[in-house]
Amino acid sequence: MKSYHDFHIYGYEVDSVKRKINFKLAWPEGDGQARIVNVQFDGVFGYELKNDSMASIVYEFEEISLNEFMTEYASDIKEAYRQNGAYGPWAHDLSKAEEELTKDNVKAIVLSSSMGMVGWVLTQTVSEKNA
């Protein structure tokens, strides 16, 4: 995935019906302007975003293996599914989740930040469009 290190998160939008998440990222220019890039995740199977500081600065969006993802986040996913059915049917049986997600060509993308928002997105595709 392309590097968005030090881009500012101007906003994000979740479309649960179309299963899309769009991040509006900005690279501040010296004259008070900003170069805007939309990073869109399509075919979203689940996500968690937290700690939005309303001034979040991206460290990176990193694609990790589904195995690594499940090792890191399985206990949180299991608890969220138990409490309220979060993430949908694939989260019902985590022993089969990695196989199901692989079959659907899902990628695990982890967001880390220098400041603010962190989280992850399980998605089939990622694309970029200049605004």
Mean pLDDT, to the nearest integer, of 58-76? 96
Domain-located, residue 1: no
Domain-located, residue 87: yes
Q: What is the pLDDT of residue 91?
A: 92
User: Which DSSP symbol is given to 65?
Assistant: -
Residue 29's pLDDT band, with cuts at 50, 70 and 90, is confident
Domain-located, residue 83: yes
Q: How many folded domains does the chain comprise?
A: 1
Domain-located, residue 3: no
Enter the pTM of the model: 0.92
Domain-located, residue 109: yes
The 10s digit of each residue's pLDDT in 103-129 is: 999 999 999 999 999 999 999 999 998
Q: CB under 8 Å to 111, separation ≥6 — which residues?
A: 49, 58, 60, 61, 117, 118, 119, 120, 121
Mean pLDDT, the chain, rounded, equals 94
Domain with 122 in it = 8-130
Residue 32's pLDDT band, with cuts at 50, 70 and 90, is confident
Residue 8 above 80 pLDDT? yes
3-state percent breakdown (helix, strand, coil) of the chain, nearest 5: 25, 45, 30
Domain-located, residue 92: yes
Domain-located, residue 76: yes
Domain-located, residue 2: no
Mean pLDDT, to the nearest integer, of 49-62? 94
Taking the CA atoms of residue 56, residue 61, residue 66 and residue 70 in that order, the dihedral angle to the nearest 10 degrees is -20
Residue 6's pLDDT band, with cuts at 50, 70 and 90, is very high
Chain centroid to Cα 45, Å, comes to: 10
